[in-house]
Amino acid sequence: MVDVPNRPEYQSELFKKGLEVRREVLGRDYVDSSLARADDFNAAFQQMTTEIAWGMCWTRPGIDRKTRSMINLTMLSALNRGAELRLHLKAALTNGVTRDEIKEILMQVGAYCGIPACLEAFKIATEVFKEVDAAKGS
């Protein structure tokens, strides 16, 4: 594992398996930075998220990454988890979710979870799309 601190929490095969997917979906720089910032207090959280969410869940064969991203957008929007929604909107684009599909996901959130959750998610998505476009020079 390159660029990952040599912590006991980061040594399991499940961690390594999850790390590979996590880097592919969220981007190597983001993930490696998160791991490098971890200290003795929160390294266990990095282990948990990498092993459970990424190593156990995202590597399962039952559904593809695009579908997993769509599900995550729905849950994070419904729960009003803005920071994670921002991160997973970028991941969803990486995983092939289109902006039109994201719009439809957020509309579904509005119908079933309420307009405030939908409004916040649309605001965040609009900001993320602007950032993505600016990075591409669009």
Is residue 2 in some structural domain?
A: no
**Does residue 83 sit in the same domain as residue 119?**
yes
pTM value?
A: 0.89
**Parts of the chain with a pLDDT under 70:** 1-2, 138
Return the sign of the alpha-carbon dihedral for residues 23, 27, 29, 31. Answer: negative
**Does residue 49 sit in the same domain as residue 76?**
no
Q: Residue 22: CB partners within 8 Å, gap ≥ 6?
A: 31, 50, 54, 58
Residue ending a domain, among 38, 57, 76, is 57
Tokens describing residue 92: 């969803």
Q: What is the CATH number of the domain that holds 98?
A: 1.20.1290.10
Q: Which residue segment(s) compose the domain that 104 sits in?
A: 65-136
| Locus of tokens 């207090």 | 41
**Does residue 29 sit in the same domain as residue 79?**
no
- Domain total of the chain: 2
Quick one: pLDDT at residue 138?
62
